[in-house]
Amino acid sequence: MQKVKVKIMVADREYPMMVSPDEEEILRSAGKKINNIIKEFEEKYSVKDKQDGLAMCALQYVAKSMTLENNISEKEELLTEEIDKLTQQINQRL
């Protein structure tokens, strides 16, 4: 797949990247979202340093990601238990 060169602005810094055309729009949206979150932190918590805003943004997203991972693991366990129960029921009837 062909790569395109893009420059993404995050926290007033430009990051050049080589990405597939499919990834370009996602990266641009991600950069905008990060910048908006940093701006919210600056306004809400009087954060003056972009690095602090970026760190707070990273912490927020990693915490959300970890919560989602935990929820998925719990649901997988419940599904596995249900499948085991159904398998036992099928085996008993055979």
pTM: 0.75
Chain-centroid distance, C-alpha 72:
14
Asked if the model's pLDDT at residue 82 lies above 90, the reply is yes
| Residue found under tokens 């499919």 | 22
17-57 confidence digits (pLDDT tens): 999 999 999 999 999 999 999 999 999 998 889 999 999 99
Contact criterion met (CB below 8 Å) for 19 and 3:
yes
* Rounded CA separation 18/8 (Å): 11
Asked if the model's pLDDT at residue 1 lies above 80, the reply is no
The amino acid at residue 56 is: M
